Amino acid sequence: MALKMKELMLLSGESKSTILYYVKEGLLPPPKKPKPNLHLYDESSVEILRFIKFLKHNFSYSISEIKAIFAQNNFRDAKSFGMMVNALELISGDKENRRYNREDFLEITGLDDTQLDDYVSRGLLFERADGFSGKEVEIASILKRAQKLGLEDSLLDHYVEAARQLAKEEFAAGAKMMKADPQKHTEHYELFFDMILTLKPYLCNMHTVAEYQKQYQKDEAE
């Protein structure tokens, strides 16, 4: 369904100047012009506008950073579950969107080929389609420190096992949720991100705190 400017403003909550700016910057598909004074926007523009607002407000992404995200992904199909997954992959990288090939990554991190292959095969590091991101550099540093200080590998493997199981359940729940009500995709996107990026780390960390407190109180009692 094509939308007039007023309809797009009403549905998205954005001003006319903002919409025109996003079109100019290539974030929104340009309107069709069947008549000289009639500009019609694709209905996907509503979801795209809401998604841009979500990235700006929740992750402090600038327009240039959002443009970099859009440049690497097809966000025109705003009702695709794949759009949400692609966006999550980018957000879980680094905002500068840096990428390193294997050779550069090894030099930066100080890992050797054997160590890198081990971390990748165990699911502790991920080589993305376009190389390694700044996030992988950060994680590699943590893994090296863990090894140096003698942290048990079993704990890291437990992290991976739990993450894989959660990933399966998250995907199943997310796909089911979006199929159940196709009219609320923006709400689904926001809930999906909030659960994975905010709720999940909160629960994991707070349960760790609670366990430490319980064990500390137990030791004090003895």
Give phi and psi for 11, each to the nearest 5. -75, -30
Residue 59 has a pLDDT of 72
- pTM value is 0.67
What is the CATH class of 2-77? mainly alpha
* CA atoms of 122 and 2, how far apart (whole Å): 48
Q: Enter the tokens of residue 194.
A: 């909030």
Residues in contact with 202: Cβ distance below 8 Å, sequence separation at least 6, in sequence order: none
Residue 56 has a pLDDT of 83
Per-residue pLDDT in tens (0 to 9) along the chain, 222 residues:
789 999 999 988 999 999 999 999 999 989 999 888 899 998 888 888 888 887 787 777 788 878 877 776 555 544 555 556 666 666 666 666 678 999 999 999 999 999 999 999 999 999 987 889 888 999 999 999 999 999 989 999 999 999 999 989 988 887 787 777 766 666 777 788 788 888 999 999 999 999 999 998 888 887
Q: Does domain 99-221 have CATH number 1.10.1660?
A: yes
Residue 89 has a pLDDT of 66
* 38-42 sheet: strands from edge to edge: 2-3, 38-42, 32-35
Residue 202 has a pLDDT of 93
Total Cβ atoms within 10 A of residue 48: 22
Q: Quote helix, strand, coil % in the chain, to nearest 5.
A: 70, 10, 25
Residue 51 has a pLDDT of 81
Give phi and psi for 53, each to the nearest 5. -60, -40
Total Cβ atoms within 10 A of residue 197: 15
What is the sign of the dihedral through the CA atoms of 165, 151, 137 and 56? positive
Residue range(s) occupied by CATH 1.10.1660.10 in the chain: 2-77
Which residue is associated with the tokens 């990288």? 93
